[in-house]
Chains A and B, each alone.
Chain A
Amino acid sequence: MIRVNGKQKQNGTRDKDNKGAALLCLGIESTAHTFGCSVVEMYQDSERKGKVLSDIRGIYKPPEGSGIHPREASRHHAEVCSSVLAQSLKEAGRRMDDIDIIGYSAGPGLGPCLRVGAVVARTVSGFYEKPLVPVNHALGHIELGTMLTGASDPLVLLVSGGHTMILAFAQHRWRVFGETLDITIGQLLDQFGRAMGFASPCGGRIENLAGQSDGRYTQLPYVVKGNDVSFSGLLTAAIRAASSGEKLVDVCYSLQETSFAMLAETVERALSFTSKKEMMIVGGVAANKRLASMLDIACTRQDAKLYVCPIGFAGDNGAQIAWTALLDYAATKKQIDVEKSSVHQSWRLDVVDVGWR
């Protein structure tokens, strides 16, 4: 278990009492390897100002060379959930009675993992009689990213183990301006890394190895179709190159250069098409500095400003769920009955109506 945020409030005094306007949300994240709980505060008297009071995560780590096993990950979540929840409240200096709403990741994600988080959320919602708000996990990445970076209307590149999408907001929904046709960028890096015997997640190690290369590029498949990308052939070719005696640092370098160039090309085209003047990168792969530097070049050419989600919140976390639930609840007062709060493993972001933008 890791503690992400430092203690910010310990006196137990609620801003709600002092200002009459703060809403507190407990956010529960459990779409894949992370079980996270976070308490986030929203000031309703100002425009979308929020503060992350706590962010605690328990992360399932599969054996080296193996991928995430959904049932094993859910067992991990079931094991750590109560202590993660308790620590999250303690770090925020709050009790369950202080919480106004409960947000939970309702999808997309791995079924067994989603169900553990949903059970936790439904139970505390029912027991403490708090409104329950389902949150689309991908939307959570975007909304927390905009809150933390200050971006207002960005083109978004969402890159993680579960997503590779280029998105822009229009007419109450996030619209897709490009996405992967097969595996995600996170899966590309993880599956290549695991084939090399690395422990998941492998992106950090691949970035480190790529940095040690002297820039010797190995030709790999570059596949952009329309404004979509395809990584599966690239994965096969990279594994084959590493197996045939190419230096691993050079293959890692080539893998990053090829896949990130594909993303930079499609992002630049989407920037040109949408005329957005802001571009934001969110999701676990947003932590990769080489990707950010390539996107920065594309943004400069399109006269757009690049925003990068802070590394501490690039990966999955409860704060993204809590903040999005707060935005939704404050704007629409929508909540879901516990009895109807099922999870949706394939809940696409572009079908979610956004009532607060």
Chain B
Amino acid sequence: MQNLPRPLEIHVNIAITFSSTQEMNSVMNALIPDNVNFPSGLSMSIFPSKAGSRKKRLQSGSRSRTVVIKLTSTGQVSTLVNTLDELLEHASVASKVIH
């Protein structure tokens, strides 16, 4: 039996830093509803980054201004590229309307 080629597995990690935690939360929440129910072979998670160690965060009282988006694709590369394209465009739109 001939071996089928293994699908390409691509991981994309994006970190976007905003000017405040409030802006980061607003943008992150605005992106979530349109990024569910992906086609098979594509998955995404979106969450605030951990700004340094827990100890440092507690010491400085700082909160994250950075959102992390993780995309994993084992399907069509074009689907991944199109998703990424729209995602970044929407993050930019959200930031623009706040400013």
Contact = CB atoms under 8 A, between A and B. Distances in A.
B29 A338 contact: yes
B34 A81 contact: no
Contacts of A241: none
A262 to B, nearest CB: 38
A19 interface: no
Contact of B29 (A78, A81, A339, A343): A339
A82 interface: yes
A112 B86 CA distance: 8
A338 B97 contact: no
Interface in A86-132: 112, 115-116, 118-120, 122-124, 126-127
Contacts of A123: 26-27, 30, 93-94, 97-98
A126 B89 contact: no
A118 B26 CA distance: 13
A interface secondary structure, majority: helix
Contacts of B23: 127
Q: Which secondary structure dominates where chain B touches chain A?
A: helix
- Measured as residues with beta carbon below 8 angstroms from the partner, the interface class of chain B is 20 to 34
A340 B33 contact: yes
A85 to B, nearest CB: 6
Contacts of A75: 89
A341 interface: yes
B97 A81 contact: yes
17 contacts: A74-B89, A78-B89, A81-B93, A81-B96, A82-B93, A115-B90, A119-B30, A119-B93, A122-B29, A122-B33, A123-B26, A123-B94, A123-B98, A339-B32, A341-B33, A342-B33, A342-B36
Interface of A: 74-75, 78, 81-82, 85, 112, 115-116, 118-120, 122-124, 126-127, 338-343
